[in-house]
A and B are shown apart, each in its own frame.
Chain A
Amino acid sequence: MRFMGMNKQDWILFIGFSVVTLLGPIIFSPIGAGYPDLLQKFAIYGIFALGFNILFGLTGYLSFGHAAFLGVGSYTAVWTFKLLSMNPIPAIIFATIIGGLFSAAIGFISLRRTGIYFSILTLAFAQMSYNLAYSVLTPITNGETGLQLTQDDPRALDVALGRDYGAVLPSSDLFGIDMTGYPGFYFCGVMLIICFFISLRIFRSPFGMMLRAVKSNQNRMNYTGLNTRPYALTAFIISGMYAGLAGGLLAVTDPLAGAERMQWTASGEVVLMTILGGAGTLLGPVIGAGVIKYFENIFSAFNDNILEQAFSFLPETLQHIMVQVSSLFVGEGWHLTLGALFMLIVIFLPGGLMEGMRRIRNLFVSKPPGGTGSGGSADTPVQNPA
């Protein structure tokens, strides 16, 4: 049973994913994540990681400069708000296109090299963009302050349609629906579902097969007389467009763009999300993005008082020690947790959380994976019954 190139299993996965995304406010409320600000972040960084995964997961090219595309997307979206309209649709369209163009230029040069040289090249380009955004490009990027909306922006399209925001600073709205709170989340959520669908199609397509072939052995592909560069470049551009879209959505939910989004640590973050979830799997990157953003939110809100309550069942001296030790890892020290978690994942579970889930399932189910599991268990990177 096939429909649009995907079999029944894929459709179950896709529909399950959509349902979980759309019911997010209900599903995630028991763990304290059922509010739109955080869910929005899940969706946006999910898109970013999905795109990164198309490059890294499928072709194996480790880019350390993807934050540049995110930043470019944000700047483009804010400029669209300023010049054209507060409607998010033109903003994200332009963000995606400019992200794609930008990545086409960088990818065209960087893909001449592979391995660590590729990583360094992308890193170099991203750092160049970051440094330029901070210094010479200040007329476009507004430097350290960050690009912001002002009351007297032209907004040509809005003016032509006779919309007037009065004397307040406008926020983005989709045909009258304000893009804050739940509408904002649903806008991002629908984008995430669309992106997931595209990513699913790419994974199951001959093109995706070709990208995996590039990852497994590029030399062999070259010896069979095939030029792999166009395939890798296409994957690079697609992932750049995803990043541009994610950047655009960041600007939609909060119309502000700063250069720090392009810094190389931001590129490191998306690598982390993808690895944590499981590079080369469909769901992994989204899960990784969700887990990191969730714990970032929870852990950085912890303080000594909450910790003392948590360890209140212990004797006082022991409680004091536990609070001292664990306070290193929460609040300001959240990055320490992140770094340690990251190391543990790379050391013990190179396949990420998806690999972990598969291992746990294999403990209980003796038959090989691939049954009609629901949601997360239905995709294995190699099994592709196409």
Chain B
Amino acid sequence: MDAILLQILNGLDKGGAYALIALGLTIIFGTLGVVNFAHGALFMLGAFCAVSIKAVLGLEKVTLDPTQTTAWGTPLEIRQPYVEAWFGDLGATLLEYSVPVSILIAIPVMLLIGIIMERGLIRYFYKRPHAEQILVTFGLAIVLQEIVKSIFGANPIPQPAPDSMQGMVDFGAFLGHEAGNVVYPIWRMTYFLFSLGVIGLVFAFLQFTTFGMVVRAGMADRETVGLLGIDIDRRFTIVFGIAAIVAGLAGVMYTPILSPDYHMGMDFLVLSFVVVVVGGMGSLGGAVLAGFMLGILQSFASMNEVKEIIPGIDQIIIYLIAVVILLVRPRGLMGRKGVMEG
């Protein structure tokens, strides 16, 4: 029982990341009708937002202290980050919580990146075939990741979680099981809750605001909404920006779990696409459901007991499920009729 609970927990944070990326992908697909292969790159850019903010916060002021000398006889260098020098304890806290702080800055940055991408490139591809959309966004993804590589280098850059969030939470004791059996890193728990929060916000935005209502109407019948005199294109641009924010935030918060490197986007992209297709293209609920489902299934498949029965299953489980689902439910789990039939 404890083992099963632990595997479910293990799957949740990864599932959260899949769900967030897939949610953005499927929103873009449902509204703009564009298959965006550069969405993984947005996830990666979000992660590197966190990296650069930490680097900026960590800029150090170097002063020489002539009264003390090092072992080599040179004056001792005292290094102190500027934020600490300027803001004291607040600065130290900022530096400590650089990953959560990055969220605040990543939101406008990702919105801007998303809008530039949509206005500058994607909008010219609304009417082009899906194959060309895939190809041009694939090219864009390569360009973005190579730019990041040339700035930040090819090695992963670890981003520590704040000290207070680095321990483990004893989840088993919380549920009244024996203590110590089901322990789980606090940060992963935070990631899961965070992803639920973001998903909730996106759904609330689409469900309860006028803007969201118009967007949903546009998803259902773009032409009619246009005929009613609503500039649907402008709203869709903002929707693209929102999808970029969601992917970016997923990336920011994922950095303490997986040290970001330039190709993390590509690794997640393939899986997220599978998630979207399993959930049903254009279905928001489907993307979230499939994201968590595949995350949890993947962690179950990497249990030793399972691997003994079917060797290698942990490597292929997601793809295998995608194949089965596509063959028995062509539209995915919750796909809408008439969207990308085939």
- B interface secondary structure, majority: helix
**What is the minimal beta-carbon distance from B153 to any residue of chain A, in angstroms?**
10
The distance in angstroms between the C-alpha atoms of A109 and B322, with both chains bound, is: 12
Tell me if A125 and B323 are in contact (CB < 8 A).
yes
Q: Which of B139, B150, B316 contacts A339 (CB 8 A)?
A: B139
Q: CB-defined interface of B121-136 with A at 8 Å, one 1/0 digit per residue?
A: 1001000101110111
Q: Does B342 contact A (CB under 8 A)?
A: yes
**Are B139 and A340 in contact (CB-based, < 8 A)?**
yes
* Set B147, B316, B342: member contacting A118, Cβ < 8 A: B342
User: Which B residues are CB-close (under 8 A) to A127?
Assistant: 270, 316, 319
Interface residues as binary, A250-271 with B (CB distance below 8 Å gives 1, 0 otherwise): 0000000000000011001001
Interface residues contributed by chain A, number (CB under 8 Å):
43
Assess the A350–B132 pair: CB atoms within 8 A.
yes
The prevalent SS among residues of A at the interface is: helix
Residue of B nearest to A275 (CB): B135
The reply to whether the CB of B247 lies closer than 8 angstroms to some CB of chain A is no
Cβ contact within 8 Å between B142 and A335? yes
User: Is A124 in contact with B281, judged by CB distance below 8 angstroms?
Assistant: no
Q: Which residues of A contact B311 (CB under 8 A)?
A: 136
- Are B142 and A115 interface neighbours, CB within 8 A? no
Q: What residues of chain B lie closer than 8 Å to A264, measured between beta carbons?
A: 270
Chain B residues within 8 Å of A350, by CB: 128, 132
Interface centre among B132, B266, B319 (most CB of A within 10 A): B319
Q: A123-B270, A136-B315, A271-B135 are in contact. Are A343 and B143 (CB under 8 A)?
A: yes
Q: Given A128-B316, A336-B142, A336-B147, answer yes or no on A117-B132 (Cβ-Cβ < 8 Å).
A: no
B254 at interface by CB-CB < 8 Å: no
Residue A120 at the chain B interface, CB threshold 8 Å: yes
Q: B277 an interface residue at 8 Å Cβ cutoff?
A: yes
B333 to chain A, nearest CB (A): 14
Residue total for B at the interface (Cβ-Cβ under 8 A): 39
Question: B residues within 8 A CB of A113?
Answer: 326, 330, 342
List which A111-153 residues lie within 8 A (CB) of chain B: 112-121, 123-125, 127-128, 131-132, 134-137
B138 and A120 form a contact (CB under 8 A)? no
Q: Does A39 interact with chain B (Cβ within 8 Å)?
A: no
From the candidates B121, B131, B326, name the one contacting A62 in the complex (CB within 8 A): B131
- A117 near B138 (CB under 8 angstroms)? no
Report how far A336 CA is from B147 CA in the complex, Å: 7
Is A347 engaged at the interface, CB distance under 8 Å to the other chain?
Answer: yes
Tell yes or no: A60 within 8 A of B by CB: yes
- A338 lies within 8 A of chain B by Cβ: yes
Q: Which residue of B lies closest to A343 (CB)?
A: B139
How many angstroms from the CA of A339 to the CA of B141 in the assembled complex? 8
Taken together as a complex, chains A and B put the C-alpha atoms of A333 and B35 apart, in Å, by 26
Q: Contact between B146 and A117 (Cβ–Cβ < 8 Å)?
A: no
How far does the alpha carbon of A109 sit from the alpha carbon of B330 in the complex, in Å?
12
Determine the distance from Cα of A365 to Cα of B313 in the docked complex, in whole angstroms. Answer: 60
